[in-house]
Amino acid sequence: MNLRRFRLIGAACAATVLLTPITPAQNHGGDKVDLAALTRIKNEAFQHSQVMENLFYISEVYGPRVNNSRNHRAAAEWAMQQMKTWGLQNVHLEKWGPFGDGWQIKKYYGALESPAYASLIGFPLAWTPGTNGPITAEAILAPLHSEADFAQYKGKLKGKIVLIFDPRELSLHSEAEAHRLTDEEVAARAKTPDPSHTGFGGRPGTDAPRPGEYTPSTLTTAAPSGRLLRNQVNSFLHEEGVAVALTPGYNGDGGTVFATFGGSQDPKDPVGPPMAAITPEQYNRICRLLQHGITPKLTFDIETEYQKDDPMGFNVIGEIPGTTKSDEVVMVGGHFDSWQGGTGATDNGTGSAVAMEAVRILATLHQPMARTVRVALWGGEEEGLFGSLAYVQKHFAPRDTMKKTPEYDKLDVYFNDDSGSGKFRAVSALGNAELAAIFQSWIAPIKDLGLETVVGLTAGPTTQPGGTDSTSFSWIGLDGIGFMQDPLEYGSRTHHSNMDLYDRVQKGDVMQGSMIEAWFAYNAATRTEMLPRIETPAPSAK
């Protein structure tokens, strides 16, 4: 038992006397949960849900929320207003950064003019400029696989609309686009993988391109090697006087285009030509015409806006103050920023709407909670978890020194939602057996809702933050908890695509997620002790 646990248990004994009516007794295997509170939370979540209304405003009214863009700021103002309406306290924007420029699309038109007209489904890549009015020009295929390819195209691209990647091979979709996990799949994922194969803390490798290799995925990776190559390509295309650069996106077909950025929020990085992603079928058509000796003409009219008035990023924060231990904090949240192709409905309008709905449920019920429940809607997640990384290191501990602030010991847990619209099917325990037992007791009375089990019963420490904002917390030894969700169409249709839209969100699923997030936050905020912690990492080696 470390000192922190000892001190907390001492504090908890005193609190138990005061709070007996609302704090259930606990046993070693888990918590005895408050079923009356559960009933009230369920009723509010399922009979008076506002989660789709939240989502409607976030996605359909404010639109895509590229970090620091005007849309993003306007949506944040709306979110703060909603939180105040629900009675949350200490509602504010908390700045971090600098991040750099905001950016958003003002106009997109793309068409094949000859040999036969077709409108081109697509959208501009983030942090790329506009065309200054309509441009009609010849297409040219100039696949740039690496810096070595620049020489062969030098002097040949001026004024052209350049297809900068190879055509993409497409195949028949013979399986359903959407998938719900079967009970067997959920159970299988709860099993600890053979540690001799993965190593504790072993993470699945990303499919990021190898350093120096320029692929459509280079236009979506935040890795420094990807950024370096993007900068090289953008400088080359700019110097060559390219009119527009085109990509078929890094994923998707059948009208769905997956693409993120082409340039950089950092005003010091080189700005390339206007860039757009179009559907791979249409991209391939242009390539085939060229391969047959027919030079198509294309028109693009693109207007984008770099927003340079405030380079600081921001997180949206609001609280329900605790009754007797208000300095101890339970957090829920998700990232509020998105990409620009759709409206960021499932990435991460849903996680934001769910977190807002969870705190609305708890605020509306006025069910006493000893600890403060704080909601955070992070910024800059898509470019590298910037908002949550800044927050945890300012409030709790800078990762390099691990010099803890007084708040470090008061942060109970953070629950994150950022895997699309799908139902919560399991909760992660970060390799902590005590935490797993507690979560099992919380999910026991709600298994009918589809949240069946605890995953990650054996897991290593989070050595690098990545994937989503919960890892910013677990990276410094705090309980940053994520839920395993039904994938639905996240990978096949919506994640970073032009089809990341409201109608792809499943209402019953996000109602379930909101109810569960409220229930988990309630349990954490009312149990006698704070939750057991994962291991505190050592300061980083210099």
Residues of this chain that bind Zn ion (CB under 5 A):
347-348, 418
Nearer to Zn ion, 207 or 327 (CB): 207
Nearer to Zn ion, 101 or 381 (CB): 381
Give the residues across from 141 on adjacent strands: 163
| Phi, psi for 75 (deg, rounded to 5) | -65, -35
Nearer to Zn ion, 418 or 479 (CB): 418
Rounded to the nearest whole angstrom, what is the least distance from the CB of residue 348 to Zn ion in the complex? 4
Amino acid at position 509, single letter: D
Q: How many CB atoms lie within 10 A of CB 416?
A: 30
Q: CA 157 to CA 283: how far, in whole Å? A: 18
Distances (CA, A) of 109 to 59, 123, 299, 353, 480: 22, 8, 8, 31, 42
Rounded to the nearest whole angstrom, what is the least distance from the CB of residue 336 to Zn ion in the complex? 10
Nearer to Zn ion, 62 or 165 (CB): 62
Contacts of 97 (CB under 8 A, 6+ apart): 311, 312, 313, 380, 386, 390
Query: Would you mind telling me the total number of residues written for the chain in this entry?
Result: 542
Report which of 256, 261, 257 is spatially closest to residue 234, judged by C-alpha positions. 261
What 8-state DSSP symbol labels residue 200? T
Nearer to Zn ion, 216 or 387 (CB): 387
| Phi, psi for 269 (deg, rounded to 5) | -75, 150
Rounded to the nearest whole angstrom, what is the least distance from the CB of residue 346 to Zn ion in the complex? 9
Rounded to the nearest whole angstrom, what is the least distance from the CB of residue 494 to Zn ion in the complex? 11
Rounded to the nearest whole angstrom, what is the least distance from the CB of residue 418 to Zn ion in the complex? 4
Contacts of 300 (CB under 8 A, 6+ apart): 109, 110, 111, 131, 134, 135, 161, 243, 244, 274, 276
Helices (H), 191-292: 195-198, 224-239, 280-291
Contacts of 197 (CB under 8 A, 6+ apart): none
Residue that is written with structure tokens 């195949």 in the block: 171
Contacts of 505 (CB under 8 A, 6+ apart): 52, 55, 345, 346, 349, 350, 421
Q: CA 333 to CA 411: how far, in whole Å? A: 14
Rounded to the nearest whole angstrom, what is the least distance from the CB of residue 515 to Zn ion in the complex? 21
Rounded to the nearest whole angstrom, what is the least distance from the CB of residue 202 to Zn ion in the complex? 23
Q: What share of the chain is helix, strand, coil (3-state, %, to 5)?
A: 35, 20, 45
Residue 103 is encoded by which pair of tokens?
Answer: 């950016």
Rounded to the nearest whole angstrom, what is the least distance from the CB of residue 291 to Zn ion in the complex? 38
C-alpha 420, offset from chain centre = 9
Rounded to the nearest whole angstrom, what is the least distance from the CB of residue 347 to Zn ion in the complex? 4
Task: List, as one string, the DSSP characters of 257-281.
Answer: -B--BSS-S-TTSPP-S-EEEE-HH
Rounded to the nearest whole angstrom, what is the least distance from the CB of residue 220 to Zn ion in the complex? 12
Nearer to Zn ion, 55 or 243 (CB): 55
Nearer to Zn ion, 231 or 348 (CB): 348
> In 3-state terms, what secondary structure has residue 136?
strand
- What 144-147 contacts at long range (C-beta under 8 Å, 24+ apart), as own/partner pairs, is 144/214, 144/233, 144/236, 145/213, 145/214, 145/215, 146/212, 146/213, 146/214, 146/229, 147/212, 147/214, 147/229, 147/232
Q: CA 49 to CA 5: how far, in whole Å? A: 38
Report which of 122, 136, 375 is spatially closest to residue 244, judged by C-alpha positions. 136
Rounded to the nearest whole angstrom, what is the least distance from the CB of residue 329 to Zn ion in the complex? 23
Rounded to the nearest whole angstrom, what is the least distance from the CB of residue 455 to Zn ion in the complex? 19
Nearer to Zn ion, 347 or 517 (CB): 347
Rounded to the nearest whole angstrom, what is the least distance from the CB of residue 491 to Zn ion in the complex? 12
Nearer to Zn ion, 348 or 388 (CB): 348
Nearer to Zn ion, 240 or 469 (CB): 469
Nearer to Zn ion, 348 or 492 (CB): 348
Q: How many CB atoms lie within 10 A of CB 534?
A: 22
Q: CA 75 to CA 61: how far, in whole Å? A: 8
Nearer to Zn ion, 247 or 346 (CB): 346
Rounded to the nearest whole angstrom, what is the least distance from the CB of residue 388 to Zn ion in the complex? 11
Nearer to Zn ion, 49 or 348 (CB): 348
Nearer to Zn ion, 240 or 357 (CB): 357
